[in-house]
Amino acid sequence: MLVCWAGGIAASSLPALASSVQWCSWRLSTSSSSPDSSPSPFVHLCEATRQHPATVARVQCDWLRSYHSLLPPMLEDGIRVMIYICSCVGNQRWVDLLDWERSQEWPAVPPTEWTVGGSAAGTVRELGPLSFVRVYQAEQRFQRSTCKAAAQTAEAAPAPEASPAADTAAADPATMDIRVGKIVKCEQHPDADSLYVEQIDVGEPEPRTIVSGLVKFVPLEAMQDRKVIVLCNLKPRNMRGIKSNGMVLCASNDAHDAVEPLAPPAEAPVGERVYFGEDGKGQPAPAEPNRVQKKKMWEAVQPLLKTDGEAVARFKDAPMLTSAGPVRAASLTNATIA
């Protein structure tokens, strides 16, 4: 099932959707003056999934209200969600902040341009069941009809500088605080079937609480007392009501149906900061979390992290190293690391 979160343009304007699919449309507003009187479509969507697996549901949102509590359960249940809108800036912001099992990977997902009849029609960002689509023509129509003056001002302004995320030449893994950690406690997230809540020793006075979407890939018993690689200088982020203070780095295939936590050598000391290549031993202190977020440092580094043909983690050609040897995935070769 594909759920389309729509606003401002007709779902039929998306040429990638075949005309043969069944459309189910819910408008998340009523004749009442209160947006809270609008029924949640989640139960209806789940029922539609069972009855019509090929259904495309268009959810048209007219009220200013938060859907952060509605979308994560859909994504974590494997329901494909496509968000598209004519005025994409506001929607892009809340999608970037959406609290779901792969939210920490989402900022690094680049947009891919799609075409109709050989002409650029928009962009799409895709990660697992979540897609965010921009439709150029609809955006232009929206700007002409509702914010013509603002659009003219924007056209007259100088072009913005390229973001650090797009400038892979500036990516520096030494800005990241990546350490050897040991899971001292792991349990199921009380409000999310696909998430674990881990207490991880990373060499600090107290273990860090970190939430990871690994339930589908690693059994609970295999998480206990496991050595992992932890990215430690991300700003804390709420994950379904629990603040996650870091990220367990994993290798995954393109389909994201195989995921393996990176593993340091058994002899690697807990809390040791990893480095890349022998020249990386003298790396400077990592950047502070606020700077990492503001300068999009992780978004610049992450696309260049991969496993090689022997499952060794690398940044470009430089292996990820500890004092006891390289960091590896269990079996995934030429895989993405995030």
Specify the 3-state DSSP secondary structure of 156.
Answer: helix
The average pLDDT across 112-136 equals 80
Beta-carbon neighbour count of residue 138 at 10 Å?
21
Q: Exposed, middle or buried: residue 20 (CB in 10 Å: 0-12, 13-18, 19+)?
A: exposed
**In this predicted structure, what is the pLDDT of residue 26?**
40
> What band does 31 get if pLDDT is binned at 50, 70 and 90?
very low
**In this predicted structure, what is the pLDDT of residue 280?**
92
Beta-carbon neighbour count of residue 311 at 10 Å?
20
Q: CA 4, CA 84: separation in Å to the nearest integer?
A: 7
Residue 38 identity:
S
Q: CA 11, CA 276: separation in Å to the nearest integer?
A: 46
Query: How remote is the C-alpha of 338 from its chain's centroid?
Result: 9
Measured CA angle at 104 (ends 81, 256), to 5 deg: 60
- For 147-156, the pLDDT digits (tens) are 555 545 555 5
Question: What percentage of residues in the chain have a pLDDT greater than 70?
Answer: 64
**In this predicted structure, what is the pLDDT of residue 9?**
36
**In this predicted structure, what is the pLDDT of residue 80?**
78
The average pLDDT across 87-98 equals 65
Q: CA 328, CA 61: separation in Å to the nearest integer?
A: 45
Beta-carbon neighbour count of residue 59 at 10 Å?
23
**Domains plus CATH for the chain?**
2-160 (no CATH), 173-337 (2.40.50.140)
Closest CA to 338 of 80, 109, 99, 76: 109
Q: Say whether pLDDT at 303 is over 50.
A: yes
Q: Say whether pLDDT at 28 is over 50.
A: no
Query: 255 near 332, Cβ under 8 Å?
Result: no
Average pLDDT over all residues of the chain: 76
| Two tokens, residue 195 | 């998430």
Query: 255 near 263, Cβ under 8 Å?
Result: no
> What band does 88 get if pLDDT is binned at 50, 70 and 90?
low
> What band does 23 get if pLDDT is binned at 50, 70 and 90?
very low
**In this predicted structure, what is the pLDDT of residue 167?**
46
Q: CA 70, CA 248: separation in Å to the nearest integer?
A: 25
Q: How do beta strands 305-307 and 313-315 pair? A: antiparallel
**In this predicted structure, what is the pLDDT of residue 190?**
92
Q: CA 298, CA 99: separation in Å to the nearest integer?
A: 18
Cβ neighbours for 264, distance < 8 A, ≥ 6 positions apart: 180, 227, 228, 229, 274, 322, 324, 327
Lowest mean pLDDT among 158-167, 187-196, 243-252: 158-167
- For 228-277, the pLDDT digits (tens) are 999 999 999 888 889 999 999 999 998 888 999 999 999 999 999 999 99
